[in-house]
Amino acid sequence: MNRRGFLQTMPAVAATIALSSCRGGLHRNAGADPYVMTVRGRVSAHELGLTLTHEHVLANFQPYAEWIRNPHRYDADEVVQVMLPYLNRLYALGCRTFVDATATFLGRDAALLRRVSEESGLHILTVTGNYAAIENRQLPPWAFTDPPNALAQRWVRECEHGIDDTGVYPGFIKLGFNGGPLSDVERNLIRAAAITHLETGLTIGAHTGPAVSAFAQLELLETAGVHPSAWIWIHAQVEKDLTRQTAAARRGAWISFDGLGPDSVDEYLSKVKHFRDTGLLHRVLISHDAGWYTVGEPRGGKIRAYDTAFEKFIPALEANGFTKAQIETIFVHNPADAFSIRVRRG
């Protein structure tokens, strides 16, 4: 089946897409039907359709200390004008859900995401949490002083009452790590994430990279009683020893290869083949880490499109013997399972 043929079958998978009428915060005992929290409200996990699990609309790389003194300003109308054609293109290619992984104090703009969700028709998820990558530059002062429980309660408040005054609720916890052995502040972040997950059921997406950081996080989560299936190893492609990702997947973790681009199709194909052949395809997430309207650059700088998965990667999967069901596992069923809101105890 060619790409067009595959994508033409997808409306049947997502034909019932509809936003839940509930726009409130999380309900820990919401019933048996798994759901995901988008910027427009709750959506049944079964209705997400084709999903990209790690992308960005806008980012602001100002360090927190600089941002709080003199933040770069941007025109939301211009951001929409620049980014909406890329999102509309994505929708036309068959994508129905877009996970925006822009961290708190790295440019997270919940109101903007709701606006582009409404205008593009895409379901979009946003985040809570804190981001220590880039040498802690995006961390607020309280991230260095709050104990894990206090940090967690800040995130839980966003889950229950919304982000600022936007009426938007986070769909997962986004953390950032520097890639080496965990620092004290990084240990507090992962412990706070464990507390938050056990209170809210939100999945933990951790910008991680090398295995040394990944397995240190897993150990702390499991010690706290959180199952690895509540945790996504973001930027797992940075770790070149696939036996490390395989070991994490066997424990139940999600393995996110999220730097897909036109020049890396063969590399990503090889990784996905490995997980298919080891019986672990059900733990794999694929995305581009693309977009990036960058605040402070004229019209956001150089924008990366979100289309390689649909224009190049899915055809490569088909040409290498992947079935329609296996492709749906990667792009439909795995994301729905990964981002479903439920407590996953170790």
User: What's the half-sphere exposure (Cβ side, CA atoms, 13 Å) at 175?
Assistant: 33
CA–CA separation, 290 and 288 (whole Å): 5
**Long-range pairs for 235-241 at CB < 8 Å and ≥24 separation?**
235/207, 235/208, 235/209, 235/259, 235/289, 236/208, 236/209, 237/267, 237/268, 237/271, 238/179, 238/208, 238/209, 238/210, 239/209, 239/210, 239/211, 239/214, 241/211
Residue 123 CB partners (closer than 8 Å, separation 6+): 17, 36, 38, 40, 43, 48, 96, 97, 98, 117
CA–CA separation, 326 and 291 (whole Å): 27
Helix (H) or strand (E) holding 291: strand 291-294
CA–CA separation, 146 and 141 (whole Å): 9
Structure confidence at residue 209 (pLDDT): 97
CA–CA separation, 196 and 234 (whole Å): 19
CA–CA separation, 127 and 319 (whole Å): 36
Structure confidence at residue 7 (pLDDT): 59
Nearest alpha carbon to residue 265 among 286, 235, 283, 244:
286
- Burial (CB count within 10 angstroms: exposed 0-12, middle 13-18, buried 19+), residue 42: buried
Fold of 49-339: TIM Barrel (3.20.20)
Structure confidence at residue 27 (pLDDT): 46
Residue 341 CB partners (closer than 8 Å, separation 6+): 26, 30, 34, 35, 36, 37, 171, 200, 201, 202, 203
Structure confidence at residue 9 (pLDDT): 54
Decide: helix, strand or coil at residue 94.
Answer: coil
* Helical H segments across 48-95, by residue range: 64-69, 76-92
Contact 204, 221 (CB under 8 A): yes
Nearest alpha carbon to residue 280 among 233, 334, 238, 228:
334
CA 13 from chain center: how many Å? 21
- Hey, what's the torsion of the CAs at 314, 319, 323, 327, to 10 degrees? -10
Residue type, 43: V
Residues of the chain with confidence (pLDDT) below 70: 1-32
Structure confidence at residue 184 (pLDDT): 98
Contact 137, 131 (CB under 8 A): no
Structure confidence at residue 11 (pLDDT): 42
CA 133 from chain center: how many Å? 16
- The residue count of the chain comes to 346
Q: Could you state, in order of their start, the residue ranges of all structural domains in the chain?
A: 49-339
Residue type, 285: L
DSSP state of 102: P
